[in-house]
Amino acid sequence: MRHYATIEELRIAARRRVPRMFYEYADAGSWTESTYRANSEDLARLQFRQRVAVDFSRRTLATTMLGEAVSMPVALAPTGIAGMQHADGEMLAARAAERFGVPFTLSTVSVCSIEDVAAFTHKPFWFQLYMMKDRGFIADLIARAKHAQCSALVLTLDLQIQGQRHKDKRNGLSAPPKLTLRNLAHLSRYPRWCAGMLGTSRRSFGNIVGHAPGVTGIASMADWAAKQFDPTLTWKDIDWVRERWGGKLVLKGILDEEDARIARDVGADAVIVSNHGGRQLDGAPSTISMMPHIADVLDGEIELHMDGGIRSGQDVLKALACGAHAVYIGRAFLYGLGAQGEAGVTRCLEIIRDELDMTMALAGVTDVCNVDGAVLRAGGFVRPRKPSNEGAAPVRIQVA
């Protein structure tokens, strides 16, 4: 088994081993991909303060997310059709996350179902929900997540209409994927991937096919999916979800200060600052650039999470310094999944953990819960210090 040293090496391996239509489904943005690129580029511009003569012999990355103990402040993000990056992909990723001690979030549009993942793991995982027109189906989906003992519901708010993704159009990728002669010819160039898919029965949308009314297979799924994303979704619908769920609720897709205020006021336990990985509104700001503004609005009243552009442990530390309580990785773990299945996801998490630990030490911090804006250079940022009460929420940095 090859020992990958960086997330970039996992990405290169995944690109070789996963059919282009599925690899580019994950590794692409919408329109010009400017927001997709900005997520990583804006993180890269932030600089650390190197500190010396600090005793960092005892360091810890352990913290909590939504009251659950985690080995580091990182969760696996909900990613559509992860089971097409590798056979049984969601199940394998969930088990890797469980063994590593971080949360796994299953997407509504996963290949493996809620029940598949629940039977394959031992600890509760999180479930991501898309609101659809068929509220009866959504109520049933929430009930299934409760029955599987999912410990948090992540409601995505920024996909009621799909952004224009040019690579998906060029590759002929649809939801669900259509087995055209062109696609079959392309898939045949990836014999190892094909062998894995032939070895599993999970090649559809496990949470939808056989559960949504009238959806019995791939053909009927296509018609159903085209009509179901609900453009009428408003903040009033959050109460409907909360009433049926009754547990921890996370709202994903927050990228504006006013929306953050509303999310807090409607009772969210956490928000995820997210632009859907640059796959929706191209030209929107990067998530890291909005963190100080949204952190200032929320002022530690609810947990503030972030995704977008996280490709290293250093990126994790920068996000924490900008006010995040924790981050999510999507593409990074998909690269690992595509490269080596469960072992690749584990390697992705190891890389991020080791880089976070080392960078934190060199920045003079020994406890991840004490990270604040002081670990970053001043360029463009004001660096507040951690208050004396160590249990307080992370202090935000603000644009000067």
Tokens of 241: 């979800």
Round to whole Å and give the CA distance between 293 and 301.
14
Residue 128 labelled as part of a binding site: yes
The answer to whether 192 is annotated as binding is no
Burial status of residue 142 (CB atoms within 10 A of its CB: 0-12, 13-18, 19 or more): buried
Task: Say if residue 79 carries a ligand binding annotation.
Answer: yes
78 in a labelled binding site: yes
123 is in an annotated binding site: no
CB burial of residue 52 (10 Å; 0-12, 13-18, 19+): exposed
* 170 annotated ligand binder: no
Is 136 annotated to bind ligand? Answer: no
Residue 23 marked as a ligand binder? no
Element (H, E) at 295: helix 287-298
Distance CA 399, CA 378 (A): 10
According to the annotation, is 174 in a ligand binding site?
no
Q: Is 311 annotated as a binding residue?
A: yes
How many residues appear in the chain? 400
**Strand 326-329 to strand 398-399: parallel, antiparallel, or no bridges (unpaired)?**
unpaired
Residue 220 burial class via C-beta count within 10 angstroms: exposed 0-12, middle 13-18, buried 19 and up: middle
101 annotated ligand binder = no
Catalytically annotated residue among 86, 122, 186, 276: 276
57 annotated ligand-binding residue: no
Spatial separation of the C-alpha atoms in residues 383 and 399, rounded to whole Å: 10
Is 86 in the active site?
no
Q: Do 137 and 116 touch, CB atoms closer than 8 A?
A: no
| Residues labelled as active-site residues | 276
Residues in binding site for FMN: 78-80, 107, 128, 130, 156, 252, 274, 307-311, 330-331
Q: Which residues are annotated as a binding site?
A: 25, 78-80, 107, 128, 130, 156, 165, 252, 274, 276, 279, 307-311, 330-331
Specify binding-site residues for glyoxylate: 25, 165, 276, 279
